[in-house]
Amino acid sequence: MKRINKEYIFKYTKYLEIERNYSGHTIDSYKSDLKDFFSYINKPSVDISEIDLRKYIEYLFDIDRERTTINRKISTLRNYFNFLKREQIINDNPAKDLVSAKTRRKLPDFLTADEINDLLDNMKNDNILDLRNKLIFELLYATGMRVSELVNLKKNKIDFSNNSIKILGKGQKERIVPINSRLLNLIKKYFNRRNYEGEFLLLSNNGNKLYPRDIRRIIKKVIKNMSMMKDITPHTIRHSFASHLLENGADLRMVQELLGHSSVSTTQIYTHISMEKMKKYHKKYHPRGDRR
């Protein structure tokens, strides 16, 4: 990959980190997509044309890449070249007219309310690490926050008097999410048992800040120790949070605000989950619900 491309990619990823507040995991994905593209095309950014981009997309289809992967790469290229245009490095964005491939939207995995309750009620909190791990699960489910938001949650963002947490989301946008007294008491217990200085709520064994990969590893270890068969990730818990709210009658716009989605169209995928459940109930309980 040409040196000039490396310099532009570095500038772009620093922009994502500092101005857009993207997680390290997301930035690594962008960087990987750009490296793949420039390794294939072998041209400087300033010489890239729309034809080059379309040839690369055709190549991705030829090697049978998943459409979701191709769409992510298209989005990365569109945003990258838009950044270069904004910085006046190029005059026009060659990716602006690229259209994403149509995909069948996959419903997100989620846990039932019984599964979540069974999980949370049976987690240990005998020592400080068990208590921290339980707090990770409880925070994710009580607020629906992203894993990147969780690791950056600061102690001073917890409002004990108003039973709420202030979450710093994508694009430095803050939102306030209410939490219950039980979770607040768990946080207080964690504070009392972990006497430390520092601004972040969750820490590693050595007292250092946690990162998204640490949270994923902790969740995987806890689930394995509890002999649960499902593959649970932070996103699984976030999806469960949204699904359970809608199943119990929450307004879609309210769920959008709680999740920190910029568009309600992103939140609407959860209505499909609720509809599938309603269909099952209708078929089971309506006198003529099983008609063919």
Q: What is residue 122's DSSP assignment?
A: T
Whether residue 168 is found in the same domain as residue 37: no
Bin 188: left if φ > 0, else alpha if -120 < ψ < 50, else beta. Answer: alpha
Whether residue 122 is found in the same domain as residue 214: yes
Domain-ending residue, one of 69, 86, 103: 86
Output the pLDDT for position 246.
Answer: 87
- Is 164 part of a structural domain of the chain? yes
CATH number, domain at 182? 1.10.443.10
Whether residue 82 is found in the same domain as residue 180: no
Q: Give the percent of the chain with pLDDT over 90.
A: 51
- Is 119 part of a structural domain of the chain? yes
- Is 45 part of a structural domain of the chain? yes
- 9-34 confidence digits (pLDDT tens): 999 999 999 998 888 888 999 999 99
- Is 78 part of a structural domain of the chain? yes
More reliable by pLDDT, 110 or 119: 119
Q: What is residue 165's DSSP assignment?
A: E
Task: Give DSSP secondary structure letters for 175-214.
Answer: EEEE--HHHHHHHHHHHHHS---SSBS-B-TTSPBP-HHH
Query: Is pLDDT of 282 > 70?
Result: no
- Is 277 part of a structural domain of the chain? yes
Whether residue 66 is found in the same domain as residue 150: no
- 134-157 confidence digits (pLDDT tens): 999 999 999 999 999 999 999 999
- Is 102 part of a structural domain of the chain? no
Whether residue 70 is found in the same domain as residue 142: no
pLDDT band at 109 (very low <50, low <70, confident <90, very high): confident
Name the residue range of residue 82's domain: 3-86
More reliable by pLDDT, 64 or 1: 64
**What is the rounded CA–CA span in Å between residue 77 and residue 96?**
9
Whether residue 26 is found in the same domain as residue 144: no
Whether residue 133 is found in the same domain as residue 51: no
**Residue listed under structure tokens 């069948």:** 104
Residue 197: both structure tokens together: 């200085």
Whether residue 121 is found in the same domain as residue 264: yes
Output the pLDDT for position 150.
Answer: 96
What mean pLDDT is reported for the chain?
86
3-state DSSP call for residue 97? coil
Q: How many domains does the chain have?
A: 2
For residue 171, give every residue at least 6 positions away whose Cβ sits within 8 Å of its Cβ, in sequence order, or none.
20, 21, 262
Would you name the residues annotated as active-site residues? 146, 170, 235, 238, 261, 270
Whether residue 132 is found in the same domain as residue 270: yes
Q: In the sheet where 158-159 sits, what is the strand order? A: 158-159, 164-168, 174-178
Burial 22-46 (b: 16+ CB within 10 A, else e): bbeebbeebbebbeebbeebeeebe
Whether residue 136 is found in the same domain as residue 250: yes
pLDDT band at 292 (very low <50, low <70, confident <90, very high): very low
**What is the rounded CA–CA span in Å between residue 39 and residue 8?**
15
**What is the rounded CA–CA span in Å between residue 119 and residue 272?**
25
Domain-ending residue, one of 20, 51, 86: 86
For 16-55, the three-class secondary structure string (H helix, E strand, C coil) is: HHHCCCCCHHHHHHHHHHHHHHHHHHCCCHHHCCHHHHHH
Whether residue 151 is found in the same domain as residue 261: yes
Residue 158, beta-bridge partner list: 165
Domain-ending residue, one of 50, 71, 86: 86
- Is 96 part of a structural domain of the chain? no
Average pLDDT over residues 254-281: 74
Whether residue 256 is found in the same domain as residue 221: yes
Output the pLDDT for position 259.
Answer: 92
CATH number, domain at 70? 1.10.150
- Is 204 part of a structural domain of the chain? yes
Query: Is pLDDT of 273 > 70?
Result: no
